[in-house]
Structure 1
Amino acid sequence: MSKRDYYEVLGVSQDVSEKDLKKAYRRVAMKHHPDRNPDDKASEEKFKEASEAYEVLSDSQKRAAYDQYGHAGVDPGQGGMGAGGFGSFSDIFGDVFGDIFGGGGRGGRGGPSRGADLRYTLDLSLEEAVRGTSVKIRVPTLVSCGTCKGSGAKPGTQPTQCTTCGGVGQVRMQQGFFSVQQTCPNCRGKGSMVSDPCRDCHGQGRIEETKTLSVKVPPGVDTGDRIRLSGEGEAGADGGPAGDLYVQVSVRDHEIFQRDGRNLYCEVPISIVDAALGGELEVPTLDGRVKLKVPSETQTGKLFRLRGKGVAPVRGGSAGDLLCRVVLETPVNLTGKQKELLREFQASMKGDKNSPRQSSWFEGMKNFFGDMKI
């Protein structure tokens, strides 16, 4: 069975906090715990799946590796609740009945199973995301061992039936009044044993390998979009089919533009003179520079729309717009002559005729303080 995305298993987003992660795990674990759902294989698998997801995501180092490489970046087979067993209520909630219920998994008989899906985070510039590109990535994964063809047994030999469980993959244990069915500790649920393991994969049937893959990124992708590469995930256990690789797009911040869906935004500094008298400014777009006409008496913060200069969505449709926000820039490093000219200009100003917003604001302030009773 293919492994689902750990965040999806717990029903949380990738930026979830440790506190909310724990709450989500407890909610899923309580719902699907085997002791509350006896003989329900579906609930049992969901519980083990949630336990494995929480074991990885609650560890900061494992979580960082998983965020970068998906299932290939972590090894859930090494200990912990995700390694084939399941914890009792005491493991999750501190329940006093934990010693009664005990631990130990209830796995079904093993066999060929689909490999885990993998995830790779691909960082792109805004230009690459908007125009599309082709990139090569290196992904660590598990591939089928070529020496033993995935069987785990030395060439010329075959796995033998497990003598502990008789090939069933499960054993029944008595714990006081309770009879608990558990995954066979000898064959770990496979039902067979490799007595003479392959020298290359040491009986696992799979070996670690870093693959170099070419990824074609379509134009218009944005942060959060995923590109699926079928069959490029982990090789399946016991000769099962490979999972898929999901390339998750992450677009880096741009020094000029901010993207919001189909539209782009940027700030354009403008001088006092250009704002007052009007003029023509040169502004950047992803296709090059264009001229922007600024009318006289333009106020800071005004938005100008350049239609069709945004982004064409990856799923089709017309390109959005570029919205330029003009920001009035106060001149600095003035000479004595320039300061003198500004003072003359200030003296020539005639109150609300030249600065209506300022006059209105001061009038409102006087009314405000006039209404206050001190």
Structure 2
Amino acid sequence: MKEDYYEILGIDKSASAAEIKKAYRKKAIQHHPDKNPGDTKAEEMFKKAAEAYEVLSDPNKKQRYDQYGHAAFDGAGGFGGGSGHMNMDDIFSQFGDIFGGAFGGGGGFSGFGGFGGGGRARVKGSNLRIRVKLTLEEIANGVEKKVKVRRKIQADDVTYKTCPTCNGTGQMMRVTNTILGRMQTATTCNSCGGAGEVIDKRSSEADGQGLVVKEETVSIKIPAGVVEGMQLKVTGKGNEAPGSNGISGDLLVAIEEQEHNTLKREGDNLHFDLYVSIAEAVLGTSKEIDTVTGKVRIKLEEGIQSGKILRLKGKGIPSINGYGQGDLLVHINVWTPKTLNKEQRDFFERMVGDDNFSPNPEKNDKSFFEKVKDMFS
């Protein structure tokens, strides 16, 4: 079972944004690779802290995590969804500024891919966003969707050269005079955007960044129990970044729930309106109803009352948190005919005043408000 993000950072759920950032910086510096060379446990803790901060520092992700736990990001396929397979370059490209001057010139580290004192940044490509429509059956069972995405990738014949403005460092040094003396600060190079390189040659089909648009089929694993508006992330399936050392953006997938013909969803529970005739209600019957796993037949006892709710345990939607499965609530509605022939009318006229047809609720027959209360409890 994955560790709780709050426990990883050593904070509680009421922690403010500033406290979350402070806790992450403390953990990151403690387990930084430069401070713990060759220590795989420290590196793993460094990644876990970054993963926890990536979620808790984002108000939307934090809200989903507080509500659904790690299951909110199952199937998201990468960093930002709690995958646990963090990439060091991703961490430093996104959170390097949090370390300040603790390590090198740009918050990087010397042991991995040139992030040391030079501060050269890895440019990340832009994210893509799509909506995926799911049926209630797909939501209940989980599904793998294949979607076509038009994303920017590097052209095959594009080549790069060292940025002449910053000489490949990705930064420009600026000296300013202050009342405290001369201060030297580093800023991102405007010519290369911090990548340290610019385009040398490109084809006519490529844009100014050396990218071309290509359609690609992407497979998305969607866990059971997702809800309308939930967003999953497929790492690395957004637009590629310019340069030979960039990293791809992500594909953000928003969930859209399609309306079911007969079932209505309420959280993890489902509702089904079952209409029966007066004769069926009086004599009892069996009826076939829809569920998300197929049709099932239920038996209705003699004298069943309109408004009665039958609960089918475990026939609802699985919890996104993995805490069991919701129920299917079958609402009984006795249908009163609007027109009668002479024989039918004569029969009911004879029944007026008959004790068997006079309302006589028992003590255990719940009122409408009690049924609604039970339904939501």
Under a length normalisation based on structure 1, what TM-score does the superposition of the two structures give? 0.52
Please tell me whether the aligned partners of residues 171 and 184 of structure 1 are also in contact (alpha carbons under 8 angstroms).
Answer: no
Q: Could you tell me which amino acid in structure 2 is paired with residue 132 of structure 1?
A: G
**1:1-374 paired onto structure 2 within 5 Å:** 112-149=122-159, 151=160, 159-161=163-165, 187=191, 198-199=202-203, 200-238=205-243, 239-346=245-352, 348-349=353-354, 354-356=358-360
Residue 324 of structure 1: how far off its partner (Å): 0.2
The structure-2 alpha-carbon separation of the partners of 1:191 and 1:300, relative to structure 1 and needing over 3 Å to count, comes to closer
Aligned-pair identity in percent equals: 29
Residue 264 of structure 1: how far off its partner (Å): 1.4
Partners of 2:199 and 2:128 lie apart in 1 by: 31
Please tell me whether the aligned partners of residues 162 and 197 of structure 2 are also in contact (alpha carbons under 8 angstroms).
Answer: no
Please tell me whether the aligned partners of residues 117 and 233 of structure 1 are also in contact (alpha carbons under 8 angstroms).
Answer: yes
Deviations 1:264-314 (A, max 9, x none): 111100111222343333323233333323334433221101112222234
Residue 255 of structure 1: how far off its partner (Å): 0.6
Deviations 1:334-363 (A, max 9, x none): 3232222222223x4459x81257xxxxxx
The structure-2 alpha-carbon separation of the partners of 1:237 and 1:335, relative to structure 1 and needing over 3 Å to count, comes to same
Please tell me whether the aligned partners of residues 155 and 206 of structure 2 are also in contact (alpha carbons under 8 angstroms).
Answer: yes
The structure-2 alpha-carbon separation of the partners of 1:184 and 1:265, relative to structure 1 and needing over 3 Å to count, comes to closer
Q: Could you tell me which amino acid in structure 2 is paired with residue 117 of structure 1?
A: N
Aligned CA RMSD, in angstroms, stands at: 4.6
Aligned length: 249
Q: Could you tell me which amino acid in structure 1 is paired with residue 130 of structure 2?
A: Y
Please tell me whether the aligned partners of residues 309 and 331 of structure 2 are also in contact (alpha carbons under 8 angstroms).
Answer: yes
The alignment partner of 2:206 has SS state of: coil
Please tell me whether the aligned partners of residues 310 and 319 of structure 1 are also in contact (alpha carbons under 8 angstroms).
Answer: yes
The alignment partner of 1:259 has SS state of: strand
Q: Could you tell me which amino acid in structure 1 is paired with residue 324 of structure 2?
A: S
Please tell me whether the aligned partners of residues 195 and 246 of structure 2 are also in contact (alpha carbons under 8 angstroms).
Answer: no
The gaps in structure 2 that reach 5 residues or longer are 1-118, 176-186, 362-377
Under a length normalisation based on structure 2, what TM-score does the superposition of the two structures give? 0.52
The structure-2 alpha-carbon separation of the partners of 1:233 and 1:277, relative to structure 1 and needing over 3 Å to count, comes to same
The structure-2 alpha-carbon separation of the partners of 1:142 and 1:265, relative to structure 1 and needing over 3 Å to count, comes to same
Partners of 1:121 and 1:169 lie apart in 2 by: 41
Deviations 1:55-103 (A, max 9, x none): xxxxxxxxxxxxxxxxxxxxxxxxxxxxxxxxxxxxxxxxxxxxxxxxx
The alignment partner of 2:156 has SS state of: coil
The structure-2 alpha-carbon separation of the partners of 1:113 and 1:188, relative to structure 1 and needing over 3 Å to count, comes to closer
The alignment partner of 1:161 has SS state of: coil
Is the radius of gyration larger for structure 1 or structure 2? 1
Partners of 2:190 and 2:230 lie apart in 1 by: 43
The alignment partner of 1:280 has SS state of: strand
Deviations 1:189-241 (A, max 9, x none): 66989696623324313222222112233333332344332211221243411
Please tell me whether the aligned partners of residues 219 and 314 of structure 1 are also in contact (alpha carbons under 8 angstroms).
Answer: yes
The alignment partner of 1:211 has SS state of: strand
Partners of 1:336 and 1:169 lie apart in 2 by: 96
Partners of 2:309 and 2:285 lie apart in 1 by: 15
Residue 126 of structure 1: how far off its partner (Å): 0.9
Q: Could you tell me which amino acid in structure 1 is paired with residue 214 of structure 2?
A: E
The structure-2 alpha-carbon separation of the partners of 1:212 and 1:288, relative to structure 1 and needing over 3 Å to count, comes to closer
Partners of 1:279 and 1:191 lie apart in 2 by: 73
The alignment partner of 1:325 has SS state of: strand
Q: Could you tell me which amino acid in structure 2 is paired with residue 222 of structure 1?
A: V
Residue 331 of structure 1: how far off its partner (Å): 1.7
The gaps in structure 1 that reach 5 residues or longer are 1-108, 152-156, 173-182, 358-374
Partners of 1:311 and 1:196 lie apart in 2 by: 55
Residue 242 of structure 1: how far off its partner (Å): 1.0
